[in-house]
Amino acid sequence: MALPITTGQAAGPLEPGRELTAAGQRRWSALRRFSRAIRTNRKATIGVVLMAIFIFVSLFPGLLTHQSPTAFSSDITAAPSAAHWLGTDNIGADIYAQVIDGTRNVMILAIAVGALTTAVAMVIGVAAAYLGGLWESVLSFVTDVLLVIPIFPLLIIIAAYFPNAGNLVLILVLSFTGWSYTARQLRSQAQSLRNRDFLLAAQVRGERSFYIIMVEIIPTMTSLLLASFLNNALYAVLAGSGLQFIGLGKSNNVSWGTTLYWANQNAAWTTGRYLWFIVPGLCIALLGVAFAFINYAFDEIGNPALRPLSAAKARKAAEASTRRRLASHGARAR
């Protein structure tokens, strides 16, 4: 449910020269620029490193823990110890194992919802802009309605009808309610392209609408799509964990939100079991930060005006402003 951060034109129009270079070469140089950007932009570096850690944990949880995250034991709500690094929960299961094993579920949720939402938004947004007429009115109306309806209460109500909803239901529900903002962005981007020469050329060639949308329009929106994917993945992490935290969703699903739900149910802060909720919550925050930082770094890469100035540049700018101030003083004196 993160507030999408608008930064003016996210994806600029195509640079004219770029269309002429060979596709393969273009991809290589983009990749090189991309990797340099990750190394030089501190936010991107932090985001990518955090993301790599989470991906590693979700792929190989077995390397980090051998305990079961759901096994009952007589050792309930135990304090952290050598056997249970973060203690145990109300049924005696190891909380550290829940955090490690829960990573996979959260990552699947984030990536699946990020991709599905962006895909739905892409189809609806681009179709609305390209098809025009009645289609445009209907699709735009649906998009705008979904945009202003408060989504989280709606999610709660839908989830209430699915007691014991697993990850799959959560993914579908989040995806089919969360696409509206992206769809509107993509629609206006596609509208600005509608009368460009290369689309008219494709029409004259006699290509079908579907082909034009998939092959001619969508590739020009890659950076916007990537930003949407990251934004929607962040939304999925926060909204999904929120729903699990309030107890909607399967209560034995191994996930950070579920662990937090049980910590809250057992008032972990009054019994001194702080790590029970601090660690899973921090994991949600760090994964969210990874998505947000990578996204923000992309924005800075795409829009140099947003970049933080380097120290040398800042000094130069300060000197310039002093000079301006002196000049204005001079002007005033006159």
Partner 1 sequence: MRFVIRRAGFFLLTLWACLSLNFFLPRLMPGSPADRIIAHLHGAVSQATVRAIELSLGINNTQGIWTQYVAYLGHTATGNLGFSYSQGEPVSEVIAGALPWTLGLVGITTILAFILGTAIGAVAAWRRGSRFDSVMPPLFVFTTAIPFFWVGMVLILIFSVYLGWLPAGGNIGQLAIPSFSPSYLGDVLVHAILPALTLLITGIGGWVLTMRNNMVTTLTEDYVRMARAKGLSSARVMVDYGARNAILPNLTGFAMSLGFVVSGAILVEYVFNYQGVGYYLLNAVGYDDYPLMQGLFLIITVAVLAAILLSDIATAILDPRTRTAG
Query: Which residues in this chain contact partner 1 in the complex, by CB under 8 A?
Result: 1-8, 43, 141, 144-145, 147-154, 156-162, 181, 234, 238-239, 241-242, 245-248, 260, 263-264, 269-270, 274, 277-278, 281-282, 284-285, 288-289, 291-293, 296, 305-306, 308-311, 313-314, 317-318, 324, 328-329, 331-332
Locus of tokens 């540049």: 313
Q: What is the C-alpha separation between 279 and 265, in angstroms, rounded?
A: 16
Q: What are phi and psi of 208, to 5 degrees?
A: -80, 160
Report the SS3 class of residue 94.
strand
Nearest residue (CB) to partner 1, 118 versus 241: 241
Nearest residue (CB) to partner 1, 23 versus 305: 305
Nearest residue (CB) to partner 1, 68 versus 140: 140
CB of 7 to partner 1, least distance (A): 5
CB of 276 to partner 1, least distance (A): 10
Nearest residue (CB) to partner 1, 10 versus 127: 10
Q: How many CB atoms lie within 10 A of CB 71?
A: 12
User: Which of 3, 48, 5, 2 shows the shortest CA–CA distance to 303?
Assistant: 5
**Exposure class string for 98-131: b at 16+ Cβ within 10 A, else e:** bbbbbbbbbbbbbbbbbbbbbbbbbbbbbbbbbe
**Exposure class string for 221-230: b at 16+ Cβ within 10 A, else e:** bebbbbbbbb
CB of 158 to partner 1, least distance (A): 7
Nearest residue (CB) to partner 1, 2 versus 115: 2
Q: What is the C-alpha separation between 194 and 136, in angstroms, rounded?
A: 13
